[in-house]
Amino acid sequence: MSLRRKKARFAANPILDSMSTAVMCLNESLELLYLNPACEVLLGVSARHCGTDPVHKAIPELGRYSSLFRQAIDNGAAYTQREVRLRRNNRQPVNVDCVVTPYTDTDGQANLLLEFLSLEQHLRISREAQMRNQNQANREMLRGLAHEIKNPLGGLRGAAQLLAGQIADAELKDYTGVIIREADRLQRLVDDMLGPRKPPQKKQMNVHEALEHVRQLVSVDLSGSIQIVRDYDPSIPDFEADRSQLIQIFLNLFGNAVNAVGESGNIVLRTRTQRLFTIGAVQHRLVIRVDIQDDGPGIPEELRPKIFHPMVTSRADGHGMGLPIAQYLVHLHGGIIECASRPGETLFSVFLPLDPDRGEIQ
Ligand SMILES: Nc1ncnc2c1ncn2[C@@H]1O[C@H](COP(=O)(O)OP(=O)(O)O)[C@@H](O)[C@H]1O
Ligand SMILES: [Mg+2]
């Protein structure tokens, strides 16, 4: 009957096909009508391979819910099956909530729509939200502290300068020199703690323009034994961003990679676009991904959970403000930074939505 025809129509459904939520449709006999690509990825099965198998054969874990599925069709009532644990081929099991919704298709057939919501994704979203709140609280505290230091510091430096003008003794002048130098050092720290003060001034620009600017800026001081590999996707379209903030982000990450490799090593600058990427609770159709990867020793293990916190550093002359500032500026652009590190390979990925105002709230 119409099973083949229906499968063909479902297979061409661009909306379900492009959703990042895993979706499956079953007919009245609980046979597969359709699996979207997100569902194939989540469950580690292939729609083509499953064909029109009964659901308990295609995904044995769902077999024990068959009678509940049938009841849903009979009663026409939707329900949510919480915490369904699915084992998958060669992969970690996954915990999902399964929303089961009966519907009648255009031919009058009673079918079932199953949506699989990954609990890991929920956890990730709440972790991200928690991190944002924490960053916000840290920033406010640091800014308050920086303001308190700023004014007396200016007075201190001014007084030392006046004093230096009044004394002739070279040895005593050395002391005022120390006060002025140390005050300047503190001033730089305070400026870092205050962070960017202007809201982003966004204009249409290309991400490579900012990356290339940073590469040229940093390359001037690099030793010849540090290789920089560029792996750009030239098809990435222009997008709305604050040029100087984007430069600051890449400068901080690139600077860390240069510090990490030391005398010699490789740094890769990679750009890609990525479809359907969730940041916070917003699902974006298209994001830019900028990878800055180095083959240095990796982030010290004990620092890994807190490198985005302010004043966390392993460098004698570091302020530990590079990553929190980069993270903050990326947030101002609706994006996120992710990091993966092991000895010999550290990867920072900056995700920037190409459509910051057109994300879909889940
Ligand atoms: N690419 C990297 N490789 C190894 N460690 C890194 C890398 N990037 C950052 N780190 C670690 O994170 C810490 C914090 O970085 P950051 O916030 O930029 O501050 P700073 O550079 O002033 O130390 C660094 O001190 C270093 O320990
Ligand atoms: Mg740094």
Helix (H) or strand (E) segment spanning residue 7: helix 3-11
Q: What is the pLDDT of residue 6?
A: 47
Q: Is residue 51 in a domain?
A: yes
Q: How far is the CA of 179 from the centre of ligand 1 (A)?
A: 29
- Of 188, 189, 249, 256, the residue with max ligand 1 atoms within 8 A of its CB, to mutate for a pocket test, comes to 256
Q: Taking the C-alpha atoms of 201, 205, 209 and 210 in order, what is their torsion angle to the nearest 10 degrees?
A: 30
Helix locations, 86-166, DSSP H:
119-166
Domain end (from 97, 119, 141): 119
Q: Please, what is the Cα angle at 167 between 165 and 170, to 5 degrees?
A: 105
Query: Does any domain span residue 140?
Result: no
Q: Which ligand is nearest to the CA of 310?
A: 1
Distance of CA 312 from the midpoint of ligand 1 (Å): 8
Reported as half-sphere exposure (CB side, CA atoms, 13 A), residue 2 has a value of: 10
215 and 87 in a common domain: no
Ligand nearest the Cα atom of residue 306: 1
Query: Which residues form the domain of 27?
Result: 3-119
> Do residues 98 and 236 share a domain?
no
pLDDT the model gives residue 281: 67
Q: How many helices (H) and strands (E) does the chain have?
A: 11, 13
Q: Is there a single domain that holds both residue 239 and residue 347?
A: yes
pLDDT of residue 273: 93
CA 51 to ligand 1 center in whole angstroms: 50
Q: Does 230 map to a domain?
A: yes
Q: Whose CA is nearest to atom 7 of ligand 1?
A: 256
Q: What is the dihedral of CA 43, 48, 51, 55, to 10 degrees?
A: 0
Per-residue pLDDT of the chain (362 residues), as tens digits, is 444 444 444 555 778 887 778 899 999 999 999 988 888 878 888 888 888 889 999 888 899 899 999 999 999 988 888 878 888 766 677 788 889 999 998 888 899 999 998 766 666 666 777 777 777 788 888 888 888 899 899 999 999 999 999 999 999 999 999 999 999 989 988 888 887 778 889 999 999 999 999 999 999 888 889 999 999 999 999 999 999 999 999 999 999 999 999 999 999 999 999 887 777 767 788 899 999 999 999 999 999 888 988 889 999 989 899 999 999 899 899 999 989 999 999 999 999 999 765 444 33
- ∠ Cα 52 53 59 (to 5°): 125
The answer to whether position 173 is within a domain reads no
**What percent of the chain is helix, strand and coil (3-state, nearest 5)?**
45, 30, 25
> Which ligand approaches the C-alpha of residue 265 most closely?
1
Q: Are residues 344 and 239 in the same domain?
A: yes
Nearest atom in ligand 1 to the alpha carbon of residue 319 is: 22
Three-class DSSP category at 273: strand
Rounded alpha-carbon distances, angstroms, from residue 180 to 90, 149, 150, 164? 63, 15, 14, 10
Nearest atom, ligand 1, residue 317 CA: 22
Say if 281 falls within a structural domain. yes
Among candidate residues 34, 42, 29, the one with its CA nearest the CA of residue 14: 34
> Which residue, judged by its Cα, is nearest atom 25 of ligand 1?
313
CA distance 125 to 123: 5
Residues 107 and 252 in one domain: no
- Assigned domain for 361 exists: yes
Angstrom distance (rounded) from CA 135 to CA 324: 8
- Asked if residue 121 lies in contact with residue 113, where contact means CB atoms within 8 angstroms, the answer is no
Among residues 96, 119, 142, the one where a domain terminates is 119
Q: Write the CATH number for 36.
A: 3.30.450.20
Residue type, 343: P
Kindly state whether residues 114 and 233 are assigned to the same domain.
no
Query: Same structural domain for residues 231 and 323?
Result: yes
Question: Which residue has the CA at smallest separation from atom 27 of ligand 1?
Answer: 314
pLDDT at 361: 37
Residues 230 and 331 in one domain: yes
Domain boundary among 119, 153, 170: 119
Burial class (CB in 10 A: 0-12, 13-18, 19+), 258: buried
| Structural contact between residues 276 and 246, judged by C-beta atoms closer than 8 angstroms | no
Ligand 1 cavity residues, CB under 6 Å: 252, 256-257, 260, 294, 296, 298-300, 303, 307, 312-315, 318-323, 346
Per the domain annotation, does 113 fall within a domain? yes
Within this chain, do residues 88 and 226 fall inside the same structural domain, yes or no?
no
Rounded to whole angstroms, the Cα distance separating 358 from 362 reads: 12
- Tally of domains in the chain: 2
| Cα dist from 302 to 69, 306, 307, whole Å | 48, 8, 10
pLDDT at 90: 63
107/221 same-domain check: no
Residue 265, domain member (yes or no): yes
Do 201 and 287 lie in one domain? The reply is yes
- Give the CATH number of the domain where residue 243 resides: 3.30.565.10
| Closest residue by Cα to residue 119 from 69, 84, 78, 79 | 84
pLDDT of residue 41: 79
SS3 at position 144? helix
Residues 74 and 211 in one domain: no
